[in-house]
Amino acid sequence: MNGTTAPTLEHLVRSRADLLLNGWTDRRIANAIRGGALHQIRRGWFIAADERKALWEEEKHRAHVIAVARDSRGPGVMSHSSAAVLWRLPLWGMRLTRVHMTTDAPHRISSSPDVHRHVAALGPDDVNVIDGIRCTSLARTVFDLIRVVPVEAAVAVADAAERQMAARGWEWDLDAVTSWRGGMQERLDAAPGARGIRQARWVSDFADGRAQLPGESVSRIQLFRLGFESPELQVPVDGPGGSRYFVDFGLKCIRVFGEFDGQGSTVMTLCAPGSRWSRCSSRRSGEKTGYAARPSGASHAGRRRTSRPRERSDRGWRPSVSRHPERRPAS
């Protein structure tokens, strides 16, 4: 067995001083950037282009966060989307161009081209350290994000955070869920006039950490928009030969299962129980291959578009309809 391990992102992000110490010259650095072999994250910080190409967008942003953190001086902490990537939360469909930091300093602070600095009060429980970088706590990060990002991204963040708190393998810790939701409700109640608080309340009520992937979170929003009742999540289904599978959604109201297809768009495959079994994407004991009940001509949840940021109904605030492509590594 090979005892070597792949370098961590922290080791892939290299400073100019580190490169010079290892035999590089400024001319070689400049040539490597021009030739596409080296990517400049920000002034004085670099990552090999081929290493960066293999990263998800969240990990590319985390590399940026690492570089800014190593340059940073003062009391600011990583926050918003920049704290989210440290907590390994998904950021569905978001453009991650600037690092976000928050400080409770009473005086005005300035931002820079690649860093957006916020001024806000930070309580003693609002700050954590992850990978050696100070950032907002998981609860504060979720509270900050679900008020200001598009609803699809907000639900994906809220679902993933709750899952971090409550998932125990394939078991679900209901006490942890109750504690997490209670703490989030207290934050929302304490900020009645905060920007985006109405969306945040809806997202907090809608969130369900049993969603395993951002695409499942977005699919659940789409089912809501189409008028379905809240689906059961991670529904066990008996398969051939005594095997057991888990499908993403169970819709009791119309007696079908639903599975997010994960093929690059927000599409749900709806399958009636008792249908013939065919090879398709599902999960067997947590794996992404297997069989699922999928009849010929299985239906897909549809979509419509709107340019309005929100819809309103007699039931209060509702998320607008939009579509974000499934995130893929950049080419």
> What integer pLDDT is reported at residue 255 of this predicted model?
65
What is the reported pLDDT for 243? 74
Residues in the chain: 331
Q: pLDDT truncated to tens, each residue of the chain (331 aa)?
A: 455 556 799 999 999 999 999 999 999 999 999 999 999 999 999 999 999 999 999 999 999 999 999 999 888 999 999 999 999 999 999 999 999 999 987 666 677 899 999 999 999 899 999 999 999 999 999 999 999 999 999 999 999 999 999 988 767 789 999 999 999 999 999 999 999 999 999 999 999 888 888 888 888 888 788 777 777 777 666 777 777 767 766 666 656 666 666 654 444 455 555 554 333 333 333 333 333 333 333 344 443 332 333 333 333 444 443 333 333 333 3
Query: Cβ–Cβ contacts within 10 Å for residue 28, how many?
Result: 14
Q: What is the pLDDT of residue 273?
A: 53
Q: What is the pLDDT of residue 57?
A: 95
pLDDT (0 to 100) of residue 314: 33
Question: What's the pTM?
Answer: 0.76
The whole-number pLDDT of residue 300 equals 43
What is the structure's pLDDT at 223?
Answer: 76
